Amino acid sequence: MSLSKTTLGNFELYTIETGDFKLDGGAMFGVVPKTLWSRGIPADENNRIQMTMRCLLIKSNTTGRVYLIDNGVGTKFNEKLQAIYEIDFSTHSLAASFKEHGFSFDDVTDVIFTHLHFDHCGATTYYNEQGEAEYTFPNATYHVHKEQWETATNPNAREKASFLKENIDPLKETKHLNLVDDDVVYEEGLSTIVVNGHTLGQQLPLIEADGKKLCFVADLLATHVHVPLPWVMGYDMYPATTLKEKEAFLHRAVEESIYLYLEHDYYKEIITLQQDGKKVKVADSLTLNEL
């Protein structure tokens, strides 16, 4: 199946599928019982659910900049970790997605990281034939929220396993790291919403053009099944904060008719929401082609 794309105002948007993987269903849904969450996403014999790493390429015809939001897990994992997460590039890969859309890695001028957990930034570098790390996007500036950078470089014991040295060190060494604040506007029509429950300083890019709004929701809403308010991931560092942020975001998404672009949902690319009494639920699902 071909990858989707669309145009909003002066922005060209391209779906970048970087590969699939699996995570433990219990960890993905926290205190929610399996009897409930498995109705929405089935688990395999090891209790893992199917997930993907769906990124977004944004070409601005106003500034000429080419933004990539996150870049997937990359290819630096050893065989043991590949098996644990069942990383699969057989259907999709970062390189294949770029090729299908007619872009090269050299075209990317900006990489906007929602956060620096390994499944969001692993492809920033790759190992060459000599086993040395090289930058995948040699012409890019890397944008990270200040709070996330502090967290990633000085992680607590619980979150440390998500910030891999081989991913963080190259960002420490580059001269092209740009640390941003809450109110960053990358250009007119491209800003961010910052949330802190999953990890401090997670930025959710928001595109506003042609009277429409599209938000890349990253790990605030890992899948469409995570829409119910108390369905919060066990991976979240500050679940009570997530609960407050999620409630405010869901109501804003309904009120402003924001399209939600899902990074990890294997089954749905974009969803819309609607109010159903006191609850918010999924109204529709679509792709960039249908936006």
Q: Which domains does the chain have, with CATH numbers?
A: 5-290 (3.60.15.10)
Q: How many CB atoms lie within 10 A of CB 202?
A: 28
Q: Residue 147 above 70 pLDDT? A: yes
For the whole model, what pTM was predicted? 0.97
Per residue in 120-139, pLDDT (tens digit) is 999 999 999 999 999 999 99
Per residue in 76-127, pLDDT (tens digit) is 998 888 999 999 999 999 999 999 999 999 999 999 999 999 999 999 999 9
CB-CB contact of 12 with 58 (8 Å): yes
2 pLDDT band, cuts 50/70/90, is confident
CB-CB contact of 158 with 209 (8 Å): no
